[in-house]
Amino acid sequence: MAAVAILLGVGMADSALARPADPGPRLQTPVALLDDAVSCPKRLTRKVVLLVHGTSVTADENWSWNYVKALPHEGFDVCTVQMPDRLLIDIQTTTEYVVHAIRVVARRSGQPISVVGLSQGALQPRWALRWWPDIRHLVDDYVSMAGTNRGSVFADASCVSDCIASLWQQRTSGSFFLGALNRGDETPGAVSYTSVFSLTDEIIQPVAPEPVATIRGASNIAVQDICPGRYVGHVQSASDAAYYGVVLDALKHVGPADPSRVDRDFCTQTVMPHVDPAEAAVRTAEVYVFAGVVQGQHEKVSSEPPLRQYARGSNQRGTA
């Protein structure tokens, strides 16, 4: 982990980042743990992308061999945030790591940053932007990759009785967490919201009548909109070239991704540039196996974690 102690107490380099805003709920996680979770280059001299990893993996397992390698070639500095317990615990707890990371990285870079989240890692930035208004002017682009924005049939099947806490929160129906997240404005602030997903993703289902990866008010793009007939499974999204084309379009242009701009040359590539196809195949296979192991060994709970006070509205009925 890169040391981040130097980030504390550093003044905003850009006065635009210092304007007062509602800081939202007080973070309950000790600051030392939040600081240690953030990893960045020693110097941030370019536009920064903060990467948020998915369920069952670490930030290094998710990102070190793909986007951490590729994005610097496109002119970006890349930071990651390591959430506790491989995102198998209450999403309301792991979100605090993202809130802190956004504040710290934006302060250090002196300009708004972009945030990219994969799978469950798409939910923490959305929850952060929903309930911590002060970070909205710190985020330029938000990109959801294969995000469980409206739940997942995998969570439905897993949570018939006892299951992992964060899976309870990702059910397609009955989730109090998703009910609160998707209540009202799903794209708060002046952030540019993009969601990219695959219609052949075995986890992010169903895709009809509305794909569960969509965010109302965002630019919602299936990779099959770019490359008709393309197959991309869930874990493959981390290195898929068509996914990467959409992400790059969002990061490089004002506003969200626009499918008409995405380079169709990506359709002729299996994996994204600067990624070894052989390594991508090995990493993908490892994640499928390893995810089953770590989820099988983790503590199960008999019900969804309760909503915290700040997220409780007048209508607490669980819905995605």
Beta bridge partners of 196: 145, 221
pLDDT in tens, 187-236: 999 999 999 999 999 999 999 999 999 999 999 999 999 999 999 999 99
- Cα-to-chain-centroid distance, residue 44: 21
Q: 257: domain CATH number?
A: 3.40.50.1820
For 259-289, the pLDDT digits (tens) are 999 999 999 999 999 999 999 999 999 988 8
**319 within some domain:** no
Count Cβ atoms below 10 Å from residue 229 Cβ, excluding itself. Answer: 7
Whether pLDDT at 185 is above 80: yes
Domain span at 96: 29-300
Q: What is the DSSP string of 245-305?
A: HHHHHHHHSSSS--TTTS-GGGGG-SB-TT--HHHHHHHHHHHHHHHHHHHHHS--BSSPP
Residue at 201 is within a domain: yes
Q: If you average pLDDT over residues 238-255, what whole number do you get?
A: 98
> Could you tell me if residue 23 is inside a domain?
no
- Confirm whether pTM is higher than 0.75: yes
Q: Around Cβ 220, how many Cβ atoms within 10 Å? A: 22
Output the six-digit token pair for 105: 């990285």
How many separate domains does the chain show? 1
Please say whether the beta carbons of 243 and 254 come within 8 A: no
Contact 148, 155 (CB under 8 A): yes
